[in-house]
Structure formats: C-alpha cells, structure tokens
Structure 1
Amino acid sequence: MTGTVRLARDYGLACGTLPAGALNAITDVPGVRVGHLTRTDGDLRTGVTAVLPHGGNLYRDKVPAAADVINGFGKSAGLIQVEELGSVETPILLTNTFAVGTGFNALVRHAIRGNPDIGRETATVNPVVCECNDGYLSDIQAMALTEADTLEAVAAALEGPVAQGSVGAGTGMSAFGFKGGIGTASRRLALDGEGFHLGVLALANFGRAGDLVLPDGRRPVPPDVRGPRGERGSVILLMATDIPLESRQLRRVARRGGAGLARLGAYWGHGSGDIALAFTTARRIRHDQARDIVETACLNENRIDRLFRAAAEATQEAVLNALCASPAMTGRDGHGRPSLADWLSEREPS
C-alpha cells in the first residue's frame, strides 16, 4: 500500500538508534527487488510476495544465505538445502500455508525456463517458499492461489519503494490481535569508510492480543478480540545486506531477528512458526564456476555486533510498519481485525 499510508515513524515510534536507509526498506540493499500479488475477491484475503536478491539468473548466480528457525511450527520449503549449502538460487516466496506446494512448482518451472539443463545435464533446483496461516480472515481451504499468481508476483518485483500492509502474502494476516501484513525497514552502517545496508522484510502474523509493546512503552489492546488468543501465528523475516558475510555469519545475524520480535512482546509460543532467512548480495556463487579454489571476502567477526543491532532494530520496525500500514479488515465469515493505526490515531494530540 502506498500514498498516504502512515508508518511507525509517522506516529513517533522510533526503533533503536541506527540510521535508516533512504527508503527504510529491504530494497535499500542495491539490486534487491520485491513484488506482490494480492487476492481480495469473495472470501479471499490472501496473496504472494516475492523477494529477489538480484535481477539476474539466480540459479546461475546464487547468493550466500542462511536460515534460523526460532520456532519450527511451519511448513516452509527449501530451508534444509539452504542450511546445508549456504545459498539461495530462486526468488524467495512468502504466501499462505496451503499455497507452499503451488509456489514450489511455480519456482521450478520459472527456473527451468531460464535454465533448460536443470534436472538433466545439471542439478535440480531448490525453491524457497515460506508461509503463514491467513485462515482466520481468508478462505484458506479454497486453495485459490495459482502458479500464475506466483509468477505474477515474481514478474512484479521491482527495486525502489515497497508496498506495505495488507498486500501480497500479508493480505490476510493478523498480529497481536490487530491487522498484520507485510512491513519493511532498513539500517545504514559504515565499514572501512564505506556505506552499507541491512534491510528486513517481515510477514507479520503472530503475537498474542494484548502482548504488543510499542517503543514508547504503551501496550495497545485491540477491542473485542476474537479468534485464536494464544501465540499461534507465525512470522517470516527476510534479511538482506550488501555486507560480505559467510553463511555462518548470516545465520548469526538472522538469529538476532528474534531480539526484535522480543522487543515487541512476542515469546514464540508452541503454535508459532517463526523463521528468519538472511542473504548477502555482496558475493555471487557461480553455478558454473570452473576454478577449484575461489577467493572470498567476509566481515571481520569483531565488527558483527553492528549487524546484530541493525537486525534487531530493523525487525522491530518492519513489524510495526506492517501493523501501521494495514487498515481494519473484515474477511471470511465476518471475521475482522482492527487497525493499530486507528488505535494510534485516536490517541494523537488534537
């Protein structure tokens, strides 16, 4: 959502001390692209969000990556190979729980179109698809998302400002009893006299109503809370940086997304699927590399605390942006979620 949408900073909700990037979005990392496909017809409140580490052939030019499973109540695809090989070779998809298989198939076909040798003269492909359950607001049993929807989100992926709130995969999501969705934020860092970024895109569908803690200490309680009251949702955090990191370092940075979630009041309950995946655009892993030994650069480990702080701050703000950008919504069977933005606006000085 764009235009007059107000985000966390517009309500005076500052997260941490590090400066944000020019867009305050994951796309502050050069080359990163984000696209959405949104479905809101009938009882559907669902969609797909695609994040591309770069605009080239991801299968031929993979990027280093790692994932951290904060709580594994989820149905994602592709994370085992990311853990083993430390790379991502397709767009990263976010969608609803029952669309993971559809997204997987779509990414396989997308990769084969660009690389006809997949599965024949060379290796197969590892699609990465992560999910949250939007079934409270959307008819998830309809299984309405198609491969064409997925590919439309990939084709729509652009650099620049990112639509936030009830768009793409975030369309039917809930967080802390309010309307959740897609949010993003970034932080700028200086290393060896050069400027770098770390950006986070969050799919926020988690948090027990009444547990949300704002940066100023207030605890918003949504009116007339209905639906699941426990910590039974999920959150997916995608982190991008242009700082050269090895996969082990990326996993350590991804894990600090949990610190940002904790600042918001989350405790990662039994039924919550909380996953962070981080990648760097600073290096390409060539699928057709001919050399036996390749040179790489990586961050001095003694400087990694800067990225830990950036990951925690950007995660906290990305989730708040998802909440602030999402208007109140009524969905399947009259189920509804109020807007945090309305709660904040009612308490602004007149």
Structure 2
Amino acid sequence: MRTRELGIRIGRGTPGRFNAITDVAGVRVGHHTLNVEAGEASTHTGVTIIEPRAGSARMAPCFAGCHILNGNGDATGLEWIREAGLLTTPIAYTNTHSVGVVRDALVAAERNETNGDVYWCMPVVLETYDGLLNDVWGQHVTADHVQRARAEARTGEVREGNVGGGTGMICHEFKGGIGTASRVLKPAEGGWTVGALVQANYGRRDALRVAGYPVGEVLGEVHSPFRQTEGGRTGEPGMGSIAVTLATDAPLLPHQCTRLAQRASVGIARMGGGTEDSSGDIFVAFSVGNSNLPAASYGRVGKPTTAVEMVNNDHMSALFSAAAEAVEEAIVNALLAATDMSTRGARVEAIGSERLLSALRKVGWRPDSQNR
C-alpha cells in the first residue's frame, strides 16, 4: 500500500492521477531488475530509465537544472546541464559501479537511433551504492539491461520498491529503492504538475520522520543491516545516497529548474536525511513546458532565436512547495513498496505498512491529524 492509501498525509498539496512523475505529460519510466542468487556474487541491482518526452530527447530537448546537496556520489552529463541548461537524453539510475556501462549503452543507442547524424551526446546517469546486497564489484549490469529498461518505459503507474536501479538499496536502515509522487497546483497557482522519482538509499534509522512524526525513535529494536553480529561487511548507518529527478510542465528556464532541484533537499530533510557525509545527494529537475526548443544544429542552418515562456518568480513558491512534498512522499512510497531482502550474509527488513502505522500511533499520529 502507498502512503495515501494508509491515510498518511504528506503536506497539503493534491497529487496527480497516478501520484507519480508520469503525471507530467509525456514523461515515461521503465525498469530492468536483476535478481540472481550466487553467494558472494549475488546480483540484486538494475537500471531505471526516465524519459522526459516521448521520442528523441535530442530532437526535443528540455530546459533543466541540477543541484548537489552532498557530493559523495557520482553522475554523468551534469556539466552540460549546468552549461547549456538543456537535457538532451533520458535520465538513468543504477548502482555505483555501473554508471559507465549505462552511460555507454545510452551513447550507443543514440548513435543507432540517429544513424550517426549527431556529433555527440552526454547521457545523464545517477547512482547510489548497493554493495551490501549486490555484488557491486562484479559490474553485472550490461548494455542489454539498459535497452530492456528503455523498452519498458511507460506512462501511467510506476513500479516502486525493489525494482530497477533501486533493487538493492537501503533507506533509513530499512529496505529502500524506487519511489515516486506528484503534486498538482491549484488553478490560481498555475495549475502545473510537479513529479518526483527517487532512488532512496540513505539515512539513519533514529532520524527517520514520516509526515513530521519521529517514527525512528520507536523503531530502534528492528533489525538493522548495519548492526550484524555474525561478522562480515556491515558498513555504517546513513551510508548510501539518494538520486532525485523532478519533472514539471511549468515553463521554467534553466536557472529556475536549478532552483526547483534545490527544493528536493527540503523533502529529504523532512524525512530526517541530508546530514550524512557518506551520502551522495544529487538532484536533477527538468521542464517540458517549452515544447518548441530546437535540437542543436551543429553547423547546419538553424533559427538564431527561439521564443520561450517562463514562470514569473513570484509564482515559484507553489512549485517549490510541490517539489518538496513530492520528494518527501516519494521516499515514503519507496519504503512502503520495498520488501525484505536477505543475501550475501546481510538481512534488510522492509518497514511494512503495519509496522509504520504502529510506530506513527506510538508517537501521537492519528489518520485525521495534520503534519507537525
């Protein structure tokens, strides 16, 4: 069950039809999941693809921006976003040691799909570390897995939890993974939609908050993969990362997309995250609102100017609030969708709906109560 199905209210905003990043028109999400038990070489990882528009992102680029809350992580393609303010490829999530192969697979796909009629591309690939549950050193993700994830990309409902890039992830010492949510602004605020998709793999148990309630304070007795007694690898609580993508149909310019990306930090902070040195917290935001942006001409004759729209700054606050709420709820959805995983000598429990509701009641939450 997802957050709202349990009566848990995150903020005061209204979700879209699917309460997912795919509520932003044209955005598609696909996963490919790898689950192979082979002792120390067990593989629990995958690839998640976010396509900003149907068809070629190169031929219909989006304005975009990015933000790094903490840089203990890696990504490709962000320098071009910072420089040009454009997203011209899909966005991919995977594990730390598979960034290169995923990036290379997207480059090859771009070449094949354009018959080589493009000088270069710089795919955006984000990672989080799944080495406790996955043989990350084995680099088991292949180009074929990337293409399968792309082939699965769809609008509508998005699978969450132990899927795609989120398969082997841990969040607040519970099983984590992929989560998504959205918010639709009121007509007076512009009526636009903001959607978030997270790969949640961060956070300490004792810091966990849900809807403002300190549930982590009463969940300390639940088994933690970082407090094992049988020896072997354990890591430390809070290690990992979180990758966030925000999409909107509001017509934002690149610097406004960067400002939107920054607000992912607020959603993570409300959950009790964002303060660990060992977490890479990297965020990308893009807008499909200006659908007329031209593909790069690279020497061919093209128009010297393009007319674009932008949201006035005094209307940005509602978008910021929507982004923070969507990220916060996406993380809770990831936790609720995830299932237990035991492998490689490690055991990670899912938080589960009943356990979460019990913890919320212990700290004073009621289904009809508001956020603290």
TM-score range, shorter chain: over 0.9
* Residue number in structure 2 paired with 1:229: 236
The Cα of 1:210 is off from its aligned counterpart by 1.6
Matched, 1:344 2:344: no
Deviations 1:172-225 (A, max 9, x none): 000000000000000001356863200000000000122101115142325122
Matched, 1:31 2:26: yes
Letter of the structure 2 residue corresponding to residue 236 of structure 1: A
The Cα of 1:277 is off from its aligned counterpart by 0.3
Alignment of 1:46-85 (within 5 A): 46-85=45-84
* Residue number in structure 2 paired with 1:319: 331
Gaps of 5+ in 1: 1-5
Asked if 1 retains the 8 angstrom alpha-carbon contact of 2:174 and 2:350, the reply is: yes
* Residue number in structure 1 paired with 2:115: 116
How far, CA to CA, are the matches of 1:291 and 1:129 in structure 2? 31
Letter of the structure 2 residue corresponding to residue 262 of structure 1: A
Q: 2:346 aligns with which of 321, 328, 335?
A: 335
Letter of the structure 2 residue corresponding to residue 141 of structure 1: W
How far, CA to CA, are the matches of 2:167 and 2:357 in structure 1? 22
SS at match of 1:314: helix
* Residue number in structure 1 paired with 2:295: 287
Which stretch shows the higher mean deviation, 130-139 or 288-297?
A: 288-297
How far, CA to CA, are the matches of 1:288 and 1:66 in structure 2? 18
Alpha-carbon distance change, 348 to 265 in structure 1, aligned in 2, over 3 angstroms: closer
The Cα of 1:268 is off from its aligned counterpart by 3.0
How far, CA to CA, are the matches of 2:200 and 2:360 in structure 1? 24
Deviations 1:111-148 (A, max 9, x none): 01121245xxx431111100000111111111111000
Matched, 1:16 2:11: yes
SS at match of 1:135: coil
The Cα of 1:288 is off from its aligned counterpart by 4.7
How far, CA to CA, are the matches of 1:116 and 1:311 in structure 2? 38
SS at match of 1:40: strand
Alpha-carbon distance change, 187 to 123 in structure 1, aligned in 2, over 3 angstroms: same
Percent identical among aligned pairs is: 35
* Residue number in structure 2 paired with 1:146: 142
Matched, 1:278 2:290: no
The Cα of 1:33 is off from its aligned counterpart by 0.1
The Cα of 1:11 is off from its aligned counterpart by 2.5
How far, CA to CA, are the matches of 1:64 and 1:251 in structure 2? 10
How far, CA to CA, are the matches of 1:217 and 1:100 in structure 2? 36
* Residue number in structure 2 paired with 1:209: 205
SS at match of 2:147: helix
Q: TM-score, normalised by structure 2?
A: 0.88
The Cα of 1:338 is off from its aligned counterpart by 0.9
Deviations 1:302-325 (A, max 9, x none): 010001100110000000000011
Alpha-carbon distance change, 103 to 201 in structure 1, aligned in 2, over 3 angstroms: same
* Residue number in structure 1 paired with 2:192: 196
Asked if 2 retains the 8 angstrom alpha-carbon contact of 1:177 and 1:210, the reply is: no
Asked if 1 retains the 8 angstrom alpha-carbon contact of 2:213 and 2:360, the reply is: no
Deviations 1:292-347 (A, max 9, x none): 1111000011010001100110000000000011011112x221111111522656
How far, CA to CA, are the matches of 1:347 and 1:130 in structure 2? 32
SS at match of 2:48: strand
Number of residue pairs matched? 340
Letter of the structure 2 residue corresponding to residue 243 of structure 1: A
How far, CA to CA, are the matches of 1:117 and 1:192 in structure 2? 46
How far, CA to CA, are the matches of 2:260 and 2:251 in structure 1? 12
Q: 1:267 aligns with which of 274, 290, 297?
A: 274
Matched, 1:126 2:122: yes
* Residue number in structure 2 paired with 1:88: 87
Alpha-carbon distance change, 274 to 348 in structure 1, aligned in 2, over 3 angstroms: closer
SS at match of 1:224: coil
Gaps of 5+ in 2: 227-233, 362-372
* Residue number in structure 2 paired with 1:102: 101
How far, CA to CA, are the matches of 1:275 and 1:348 in structure 2? 29
